[in-house]
Amino acid sequence: MAAMPPAEITVPQRLRELPRTELADEIETLVVRKFKAVLLMDESEDLPVDISYFDLGLTSLRLTEIRQSLEQLLDLSINVNVLFNEPTVNHLVDHLADALSAPPAH
């Protein structure tokens, strides 16, 4: 009988194995890519990560789409308060890095 192929490593599994600083960098890359796509920004444009994404033109509807996409990609739940209380990419990245670096609940 042939051996089973190794299971694919998921994005959340790969990210959870990274040191905190690398984890934050990887998450920032993912988050910035999502925001740029929704804001119709070119890949070469800089997205300010410390300015409210509402000031950048993001609507709450689009933010909900980003939230759902990130939840699916990272296999975690993102509290709506995190998105609206301090609406910057930096804050969101910190929150997601903390969530992914915490030991998984059993």
For the chain, the structural domain boundaries read 11-101
Is 53 within 8 Å of 35 (Cβ atoms)?
A: yes
pLDDT at position 50 is 94
Q: What is the pLDDT of residue 3?
A: 56
User: What is 11-101's CATH topology?
Assistant: 1.10.1200
Please tell me the predicted confidence (pLDDT) of residue 44.
93
Locate all alpha helices (DSSP H) within the chain, ordered by sequence. 11-16, 20-38, 60-74, 80-85, 89-101
pTM: 0.82
State the pLDDT at residue 15. 82
**Chunked mean pLDDT (size 10), the chain, 106 residues:** 61 82 91 94 92 92 93 91 90 92 66
